Structure 1
Amino acid sequence: MLRRLCIIISVAILCQLNSSLTLAESKKPQQPTEFPPNPLEITTPDPLLPPLIDKQQLTLSELQSLETALDELNQEAAAKLQAGDEEAAFAIWNREVRLRRYLGSLAELQALSRFGAIAWNQNASEQVRYITQRLQTIQKQAQKQKTVDLDLMRSLGEAYQRVRSPQLALEVYEQILITVQQQQDAVAVLQTLTTMGELHLSWFNYPQAAATYEKLLNLTATQSDRTNELAYLQQLRYVYQQTKQSQPAVDVLQRLAEIYEQKNDLTKIPELKLAIAANYESLAEENPSLLREAFNNYQEAYLIATRSRQYVRAGEALEKLISLYLAQEQIDEALQTSQILIETQEQAVNYYGMMQAYDKIGQLYLERQEYPQALTAFQKGLELAQQLKHEETYFNQQIEKASSPKL
C-alpha cells in the first residue's frame, strides 16, 4: 500500500514538472529577426497618394501637389530634429523619401542623399544602412537600363559619398568614366577622374589616388592645360610625400619647378628646391652618390631665394647645407656657410637665427680648440641674447668655456 502511494506521488510530481516546462516554453519570447524591415521599402498606402494609384498614373497636377506636400514634410522633420526628437524626425523623413520615388528616381536620389548626410551626422548607423540599401536597389535598377543615365549615376555617386560608402561610390564613377570615355567627352572624363582622385585621397587610398592623378596629368599634358596640370602635380606631390616615395616626389617637384621657371615665377622655386634636396638626402641613404644632388639643390634654393629676396628661405637652405657639411665632416665649409648664414639672417631681420648661427660657429671652433675664435662668436651671440632677453646664461657659460679652456 505504501509503495503504491509513493508511485502515485512520483507520477504527480513528474506531471507537474512537465506542465511547468510546457508553460515556460509557451511563454518564451520569440527571437527577433536579425534586422527589422527597411522603412524606405514599405508599400503601405499613404494618405498623400490617391487610392490604388500607380506612380505612372499621377497627373502633372497631382505630382505638383505631392512635391509641395513632401517639401512640407521635409521642413516638419527638420523642425522635429531641431527640437531633439530624432525618432519622430526620422520617421517623417523615411515617409517623405519613400514618397519621393513617385517624382522620379533622380528626385528620390537627391532626397536620399540629403537624408543620408543628416543620418550620418547624427551617428544613426541603422538609418544609414537603410539608406545605403535603398541606394543599392536603385543602382541595380539603373544597371538594367540599356543606356546609362549620367545625371542619375552622378547623383547616386554623390549619395554614396554622403553615407560614407567610398567603394560603392567608386564603382558608380567607374561606370560613369567608361560611358564618358566612349562618348569621347574630354571634359566629363576630367571631371570624373578628378572626383575619383579626391575620393581616393579623402579615404587615404594613396596608391589609387596616385594612379588617378597620373592619368589626369597625362590628359592635361596632351591638352596643354597648365592650370589643371599644376593642381594635379601638387596633389601628386602630397601623395608621394605622405607615402615617403622619394624618387616619384623628386620627379613631380622638378616638373613643378620647370613650370614656374618657364613662367618666370621665382617665388615658388626655392621651396621646391628645398623639397627636392630633402628627397635626394633620403635617396642618398641607399645611394650615396645622390648626395651631390642634395648639395646642388640646396645651393640653388639659396641663390634663387636670395635673388628674389626670400631671406627666410635662403636661411633654411644654408642651415641644411651646414648640416650636410657637418655630416661629411667638412668643418671649414660649414664655418664658411655659417658666416654667410649670419649675413642672410641679418637681412631677414632674424636676430634669433643670428644668435643660433653664432652659437653654431662657437661650438665648431671649440671642437677645433680654436678658443679665441670661439670666444668671439659666443660674445656676439651674447649681445644678441641680451637684446632678445633669451639664453643669456647659456652664452655666459659658453664664454667661460672658451675663456678658460681645460689644459
Structure 2
Amino acid sequence: MLRHLIVIVTAAILFSSSLTLAESKKPKPPDKFPPSPLEITTPDPLSPRSPKDKQPLTLEEQQKLEPALDALNQEAAAKLQAGEPEAAFEIWNRELRLRRFLGSLAEVQALSRVGAIAWNQNDSQEVQYITQRLQAIQKQTQSQKTTAPIDLKLWRSLGEAYQNVRSSKLALEAYNQVLLVVRQQQDPTAVVEILKTIGELHLSWFDYRKAAPVYEELLSLATSLGQGVNQVTYLQRLADIYEQTNQPQQSLNVLNKLAEIYVNENNLTEIPELKLAIASDYESLAKKDRNFLPEAFKNYQESYTTAWQLQEYVRAGEALQKLIALYRSQGQVDEALQSSQILVQTQAQAANFYGMMQAYDQIGQLYVERKEFPQALTAFQKGLELAQQLKHEEAYFTGQIQKVSKANF
C-alpha cells in the first residue's frame, strides 16, 4: 500500500515538473505586426547626415539627395512592373526613410504616392506602415501649431495622402483643419475648394447625412456669388442626397429650385424627369397627408405633357404609368382608363409594342373592375394580337378572354 502511494506521488511530481519545463520552453507569441520598415535607423549610404541631426539640409545637400531619391523611385517602379512587388516596396521604403531629410511636405507627398500604389496592389501591411507614418507627422505638426503658423500645403497634402490609403476619417480631420484656417482668412475660393473635397469624400463613403450640410453651404455660397452653373451642380447633388436618405420634403425644396432655374433658362429637356421626381416626392408625402395628392397628380401630368411636346415618348409613357398607378390607388377608375387610352397612343409613338400590350391588359382589367365586359373583351383581344406578334404572353391573354367571355354571357 505504501509502495503504491509512493509511485503515485512520484508520478505526480514528474508530471508537474514536465509541465513547468514545457511552460518555461513555451515560445513567446510573435508581435502581431512586425516593426515598420519606415522606422529603421540603420545608417544608409545615401544619408546626408545622422538622423539625430535635426538641422535642415543645405541647398547643396538637397540638390545631391533629390536625384538619388528619384532614381530609387524609378528603380522601385521597374521592379513592380517586372512582377517583383516585395523588392519594389523594399526600395520604396528606403526612399521614404530618406525623404524625411527633405522635410515634412516632401515626405508626405512621397508617402501619398507610394500609399496609392500600395493600395492598388492590395498590400494592406504597407498601407498600414504609411498610415502610421502619416499620423506621426500629423501629430508632430499639431504640436507645433502654437509656435508656428499653419502650413496649409502640408495639411492639404496630408488629406490627399490619407485619401490615397483610404483613411477617410483621417483625411476629413486634415481637410477640416484646412477649412478652419481658410475660413479665418476669409478666402471664399479656398473655402469652396475644401468644402467640395469634403463633400465628395463623404459621398465616396455613402455618408449622405454628413454630405448634405456641406452641399447646402456650397449652394448658399454659389447663390451669393451668382454662380448659376455651380448652383445647378449643387442642387443636383442635394437632390440625390435627399433621395438616398428618404427626405421627400427637403428633396422637394431642392427640385423646385432646379425646376425654376430650368424654366428660366428655357431648358425644357430636363423638365420631364424633374417633374417625375417632384411628383414622386409629393406622392410619398401624401401617404401621411392627403393634401399633397393634387400636387402629385399635377406634376405627373406636367411630366407627361412636356415629354410629349419634346417627343420623348418613352419618358411620357413612364409618367403616364405612374399617373395611372396613382389614380388606381385612389379608386379613380375613370381617370385611370382615360390615361391608359392615352398610354396606348404614347407607346405606339415610341414603337414600344410590349408597352402597348401591357396598356391593353391594364385597360381590360379596369373595364373588368367596372363590370363592362364587352369593352374588357375588346381590350384583351387587342392585347392578344400584340402578344401573338411578340410571341409572348399569348396564353395569358387567351385565358383573360375566356374568363371575360364567360362573365359576359
Q: State if a TM-score over 0.5 links the two structures.
A: yes
Shift of 1:213: 0.7
In 1, the alpha carbon distance for the partners of 2:320 and 2:26 equals 80
Indicate how the Cα distance of structure 1 residues 134 and 380 shifts in structure 2: closer, same or farther if over 3 A, else same.
Answer: same
Kept in 1, the 8 Å contact 2:56–2:101? The answer is no
Aligned partner letter, 1:153: W
Indicate how the Cα distance of structure 1 residues 62 and 361 shifts in structure 2: closer, same or farther if over 3 A, else same.
Answer: same
Q: Pick from 369, 372, 377: which aligns with 1:370?
A: 372
In 2, the alpha carbon distance for the partners of 1:15 and 1:349 equals 94
- The answer on 1:92 being equivalent to 2:72 is no
Equivalent residue for 1:81?
A: 80
Equivalent residue for 1:113?
A: 112
Aligned partner letter, 2:178: I
Kept in 2, the 8 Å contact 1:311–1:345? The answer is yes
Kept in 2, the 8 Å contact 1:271–1:301? The answer is yes
Shift of 1:285: 1.1
Q: Pick from 164, 174, 179: which aligns with 2:181?
A: 179
In 1, the alpha carbon distance for the partners of 2:22 and 2:389 equals 89
CA RMSD of aligned residues (A): 2.7
Equivalent residue for 1:322?
A: 324
In 1, the alpha carbon distance for the partners of 2:19 and 2:341 equals 96
**Unmatched tracts of structure 2, length 5 or more:** none
Equivalent residue for 1:236?
A: 238
How does 1:157-236 map onto structure 2 within 5 Å? Answer: 157-236=159-238
Equivalent residue for 1:313?
A: 315
Compare 46-55 and 138-147 and name the one that shifted more. Answer: 46-55
Kept in 2, the 8 Å contact 1:45–1:51? The answer is no
Offset from partner CA, 1:343-380 (integer Å, 9 cap, x none): 22222222221111111111211232222211221222
Compare 52-61 and 11-20 and name the one that shifted more. Answer: 11-20
Indicate how the Cα distance of structure 1 residues 64 and 382 shifts in structure 2: closer, same or farther if over 3 A, else same.
Answer: same
Indicate how the Cα distance of structure 1 residues 57 and 266 shifts in structure 2: closer, same or farther if over 3 A, else same.
Answer: closer
Q: Pick from 366, 389, 392: which aligns with 1:390?
A: 392
Give the secondary-structure state (helix, strand or coil) at the position aligned to 1:404. helix
Shift of 1:33: 4.4
Equivalent residue for 1:38?
A: 36
Shift of 1:161: 0.9
Equivalent residue for 1:47?
A: 45
Give the secondary-structure state (helix, strand or coil) at the position aligned to 1:44. coil
Indicate how the Cα distance of structure 1 residues 346 and 290 shifts in structure 2: closer, same or farther if over 3 A, else same.
Answer: same
In 2, the alpha carbon distance for the partners of 1:308 and 1:19 equals 93
In 2, the alpha carbon distance for the partners of 1:332 and 1:23 equals 92
Kept in 2, the 8 Å contact 1:362–1:375? The answer is yes
Compare 84-93 and 160-169 and name the one that shifted more. Answer: 84-93
Indicate how the Cα distance of structure 1 residues 31 and 325 shifts in structure 2: closer, same or farther if over 3 A, else same.
Answer: closer
Give the secondary-structure state (helix, strand or coil) at the position aligned to 1:64. helix
Equivalent residue for 1:400?
A: 402
In 1, the alpha carbon distance for the partners of 2:9 and 2:389 equals 105
Of all paired residues, the percent bearing the same amino acid is 65
Offset from partner CA, 1:110-140 (integer Å, 9 cap, x none): 1101111222233333322221111112112
Aligned partner letter, 2:92: W
In 2, the alpha carbon distance for the partners of 1:319 and 1:401 equals 25
Offset from partner CA, 1:159-208 (integer Å, 9 cap, x none): 01111111111111111111111112111100000000011111121111
**Count of residues in correspondence between the two structures:** 402
In 1, the alpha carbon distance for the partners of 2:191 and 2:152 equals 12
In 2, the alpha carbon distance for the partners of 1:399 and 1:331 equals 21
Compare 214-223 and 29-38 and name the one that shifted more. Answer: 29-38
**Unmatched tracts of structure 1, length 5 or more:** none
Shift of 1:327: 1.2
Indicate how the Cα distance of structure 1 residues 15 and 365 shifts in structure 2: closer, same or farther if over 3 A, else same.
Answer: closer
In 1, the alpha carbon distance for the partners of 2:321 and 2:26 equals 78
How does 1:50-69 map onto structure 2 within 5 Å? Answer: 50=48, 52=50, 54=53, 56=55, 58-69=57-68
Aligned partner letter, 1:268: E
- TM-score w.r.t. length of structure 2: 0.90
Kept in 2, the 8 Å contact 1:311–1:348? The answer is yes
Aligned partner letter, 1:47: P
Aligned partner letter, 2:120: N
In 1, the alpha carbon distance for the partners of 2:79 and 2:30 equals 29
